[in-house]
Structure 1
Amino acid sequence: MVNAPDDAQRDSIRYRAMRDIVEQMQDDVPGKFEITKEGIVHDMMAPGRPHELTAARVSRRLEKSMPDEIVAHTGTPDVEGAPEGIMRHPDIMVIAEADMEGQGSFDPRTLIAAVEVVSQSNPDNDWVSKMRDYPLLGVPIYAIFDPRTGTGAVLSEIHPTPEGPRYAIRKDFVYGEDVTIGEWTISTDALPRYA
């Protein structure tokens, strides 16, 4: 007698298959791959100059205000919650250097904050999917910078809802205002906009 896999086993098998596909395609197909509850997200467009300049300026501004043992990291690896079936790659990860040691993906619960610069080609990935996925992963703070509109938001305080964990507090901002991410306040002056 063979036992049929339960929902958790099916989810785990499905996630592992998607993870294997992403690993195989990552070097050969342009763009960025992430895994959500709905499946694989492929942003085919490489980030443009305004996106990358925003990430660089926000990262530098954060690091100037943080203690040396905390970094605003803009590189790899991904943030992965295999039990949740989610693999994301934040534009900026606020994380303790000590939590970056070792091999493999970062544990999302070690992140102090995830910061995203909204993609021109797929804004819903940042405003909808990641707003759902980051609290599921246990990332305590999610900040969004949107060069399309010159606005953004900082979300915090994860709380349970019938649809799963969500952020309870949202503080919107307009470029030019100071914004607080965690314990650190930075300027949003001179952040580029998409043309």
Structure 2
Amino acid sequence: MAEPPVPEHPPVPSGRLDARDIEDAFTQLSTAAPDGWRVELIEGEIHVTPPANGEHEEYVSEVNRQVTLRQRSQELRNYSGIGLNVPGASQTGHVIPDLVVAPKGTFDNKEEWHDPSTVLLVVEVTSDSTAGNDRVKKIRGYARAAIPVYLLIDREAGQVTVCASPEGDDYATKSSYKMGLTVPLPAPLGFDLDTAEF
């Protein structure tokens, strides 16, 4: 029985890829990725992540529930699976936070990647495959995008970190709490998150 032919791939250019090549490769991978997989462009590197496990989604669901119940403005909405453009080492980074809080209508268009200028909060829940990006690179991207609050739920470390007051490539304040404690979220949210519910 003859073996099936090996598909031909276009030649890989030698040397460093420029930003356009990276964007093209990112677009091709995004189109080809199976449902549920995330393809992100973070500081010039393409990251492909498999679907999250059940525990990860329980954490995201609980944050979603508490934000919905406790937020002060009836004009805010919670979004999952939303692509954001954030500044990075490449001209544009493309990230998909686990949860985004923004005013109603912020993403009311047909675009896949959105301007984060009205986003109030991004939430990331770490997984083994994403923890490094969530702890370092995404902090820089979200700060550069001037997103007021970044909530990092670090399952592996057993802690929650609230990053607030973006300044350049970082946040001016970072407060970490052991998992299970009440975590105060600063303005513009201004309520406590009970991590004992995770």
Long gaps (5+) in structure 2? 1-16
User: Which stretch of the first structure deviates more once superposed, 150-159 or 178-187?
Assistant: 178-187
Match of 2:161 in 1: 153
Give identity over the alignment, percent.
23
2:187 maps to 1:183: no
Report if aligned partners of 1:59, 1:74 keep a CA contact under 8 Å in 2. no
1:109 maps to amino acid: S
TM-score, length-scaled by structure 1: 0.80
Larger radius of gyration: 2
SS in 2 for 1:99: coil
- In structure 2, the residue matched to 1:166 is 170
Choose which of 86, 91, 101 in structure 1 pairs with 2:93.
86
Aligned position for 1:96: 103
- Structure 1: which 5+ runs fail to align? 1-12
How far apart in 1 are the matches of 2:40 and 2:131?
A: 14
**Counterpart amino acid of 2:26?**
V
- Asked if structure 1 preserves the Cα contact closer than 8 Å seen for 2:121 and 2:151, the reply is yes
CA distance in 1, matches of 2:86, 2:182: 32
- Work out the CA distance in 1 between the residues paired with 2:39 and 2:18: 16
Shift in Å, 1:129 = 1.0
Structure 1 position 18 matched with structure 2 position 22? yes
Matched, 1:59 2:60: no
Instruction: Name the SS of the counterpart of 2:120 in structure 1.
Output: strand
CA distance in 1, matches of 2:152, 2:41: 19
Q: Give the C-alpha shift of residue 149 in structure 1.
A: 2.8
- C-alpha distance in 2, partners of 1:39/1:145? 23
Distance 1:103 1:166, change over 3 A: same
In 1, Cα distance between equivalents of 2:191 and 2:107: 20
Q: Deviations over 1:31-86 (max 9, x none)?
A: 3111122321222x32101111100110111111123210121233x001478421
CA distance 1:81–1:121, shift in 2 (3 Å): closer
Indicate whether 1:116 and 2:124 are aligned. Answer: yes
Question: 1:184 offset after TM fit, Å?
Answer: 2.5
Whether the 8 Å contact between 1:119 and 1:126 is mirrored in structure 2 is no
Partner residue in 1 for 2:4: none
Residues matched between the structures, number = 173
Whether the 8 Å CA contact 1:60–1:72 is kept in 2: the answer is no
TM, length-normalised to structure 2 = 0.79
Distance 1:37 1:97 in 2: 29
Q: Aligned pair in 2 of structure 1 residues 102, 122: CA closer, same or farther (>3 Å)?
A: closer
Q: 1:151 to 1:81 in 2, by over 3 A?
A: closer
Q: Once the 2 structures are TM-superposed, how far is the Cα of residue 28 of structure 1 from its aligned partner?
A: 2.6
Which secondary structure state, in structure 1, belongs to the residue aligned with residue 61 of structure 2? helix
CA RMSD of aligned residues (A): 2.1
- 2-structure distance, mates of 1:115, 1:40: 20
Question: Which structure features the higher share of helix residues?
Answer: 1
